[in-house]
Amino acid sequence: MSNKVNTSFNRGRDGDLVNESYVVIDNMTDNTYFPNPNPTVAVLKQATQEYQQSLYDASGRDQKLVAIKDNKRTVLRAVLTQLAEYVNSVANGNREILLSSGFKLTKNRGEADDLRPIGDLEVRTDAPEQATVRIKRVPGAKAYVYEYTTGVVTNESIWIARTITEPSYTFRGLQSGVKYSFRVIAIGRGEKSVFSPILSRFIQ
């Protein structure tokens, strides 16, 4: 069976559809494998933002606003389906190219979800006593563990950890002039996890 990304987005909760869309947006932006996406990333971003706003507006259960939300969801699903079909046509079964899009691969029966390796790790230390750690969203990740340690990194290093669901976190109250090492762990289903590279920075 040839590798393909999923082209159906009719299951899951409303919020899951938004999260899945943002994963695709993050990964398709400036993706050299897909220089001319159809529809464009801008179109997907607009459809996602409009649907996200309609979710908020319809939280009070007003029937008119709920109908608007349902229409926006239909539009977003259609955009995602069209873009996923474009990804399949360009990738032609290449697993690496497919995964780079942020879309989930279709699964053979009994096949478990695999997490894509974390690529670049960004650490910003512009603000005093702070460090902002950022990665691209990992398809299939349910949470991200942000960790830091000081001193030379060894197997005995003690890592301080914070777990959230977003691909960016700011550590505050760090010691000025000290070298910190950072890493991120993406957590998926069935206790699967992938580690980022370790990156060291001096704190202002």
pTM for the full predicted model: 0.54
* The pLDDT value given to residue 22: 92
Helices (H), 33-143: 41-57, 63-91, 95-100
Per-residue pLDDT of the chain (204 residues; tens, 9 = 90+): 578 998 988 876 777 888 889 999 999 999 999 999 999 999 999 999 999 999 889 888 789 999 999 999 999 999 999 999 999 999 999 989 999 999 988 865 544 556 888 878 999 999 999 999 999 999 888 899 999 999 888 878 889 999 999 999 999 999 999 999 999 999 887 667 889 889 999 999
CATH number assigned to the domain with residue range 122-202, chosen from the 4 options 3.20.20.100, 2.60.40.10, 3.30.565.10, 3.40.50.300: 2.60.40.10
Distances (CA, A) of 133 to 33, 150, 165, 168, 197: 26, 15, 13, 6, 12
